[in-house]
Amino acid sequence: MTKDSKIYVAGHNGLVGSAIWKNLKERGCHNLIGRSHKELDLTDQCAVKKFFDEERPDAVVLAAAFVGGIMANSLYRADFIMMNMKIQCNVISEAYAHGVEKLLFLGSTCIYPKNAPQPMKEDCLLTSELEYTNEEYAIAKIAGLKMCESYNLQYGTNYIAVMPTNLYGPNDNFHLENSHVMPAMMRKVYLAKLIADGDWEKIAIDLNKRPVEGVNGNADRGDILTVLAKYGIENNKVTLWGTGTPLREFLWSEDMADASVHILLNVNFSDIIGIEKYSSVHYGVSAEGAVDRNHSAGRGGAIPSLGEIRNCHINVGTGKELTIRELSEWVVKVVGFEGQVCFDTSKPDGTMRKLIDVDKLHRLGWTHKVEIEDGIQKLFDWYRSTLV
């Protein structure tokens, strides 16, 4: 790949996709392609084929996904597995059919077992049962990374899967019905502070930007307070789900983007499995050096000389963690909230700990830059910038 390579970023308007797009631009990659959901529905097989027929990208970053937090995962189980499987199958199959040189698939560390040894290494995948509350999303992402691995083994492609920890950053989702833990917590604390301050002008701006269950800033104040109370937002009081004891690792989205682009530009499947001449071993190679994809030496996924190859994905994170209660304390400090934060212990905690091992990532030449305390401030600054 070169800086002139045509790179398709699927999900380029999202949290990670937009950061990857920005990072590629900053590195001098100018030939980028992006399509909004309205322009291209990735669950539509015919539409995806038509897009690849017309654009023929050299590389693909698959950052598009149907995502949400613990509440959304519980409510929309069928959607989470079906939508994500459709997106992955359509994009990966068309990438192969159109000879895409490099593909980067973004998954999630929820792929790991509920009770996996901590920190979680890549090889603990599929060793025991998943966390029930996000099982469907996890299964879809496991299928995606196995697609990449299997295409590489059968066809000698160069598809790499990265598994980021919990992400946060610019363009994060702050909609209370389906957002992840940090943006949801931050918005709840912010709105509870505004209610206590009696700042209805800012409450109206916030709800006009991101309505809650169809209730916007023009609604009756009583209706606003009623709908916000459903999400644990009251006058100077916030109620969060669970006990506050689960440990979580968080990665700034622009750090994730930097890691992703580093891997896209500098890391090959052969680097991960430790075989320098993987393509030559795997493919049928002619005397002229031409690769014949139809007569692969490892056709069917069996490469006896390499033995079993599995768990080729890469964890991406910080290797550091904090409790949900500690996270809430940082958010409260940044927002300037002086009210009460309560935990509803009747609600699920989800997985109690999700710290990943990032040794493989470090060996491949990348480490994180933004620490959590700085990242929370940066996220709150970005959030407020959207409310002007």
Q: Which residue has the tokens 């539409």?
A: 47
Burial of 196 by CB count in 10 Å (0-12 exposed, 13-18 middle, 19+ buried)?
A: middle
278 assigned to active site? no
CA 337, distance to chain mean position in Å, is: 29
Residue 267 near residue 273, CB atoms below 8 Å: no
Collapsed DSSP state (helix, strand, coil) of residue 8 = strand
Q: How many CB atoms lie within 10 A of CB 84?
A: 25
Which helix or strand (DSSP H or E) is residue 340 part of? strand 340-344
- Of residues 112, 137, 159, 278, which has the active-site annotation? 137
CA 306, distance to chain mean position in Å, is: 31
Residue 266 near residue 181, CB atoms below 8 Å: no
134: closest CA among 164, 116, 113?
Answer: 113
Q: Is the dihedral of CA 17, 158, 148, 277 positive or negative?
A: negative
Residue 42 near residue 66, CB atoms below 8 Å: no
Which helix or strand (DSSP H or E) is residue 90 part of? helix 77-97
Q: The tokens of 176 are what?
A: 């209370």
Q: How many CB atoms lie within 10 A of CB 280?
A: 15
Hey, which residues are catalytic here? 137
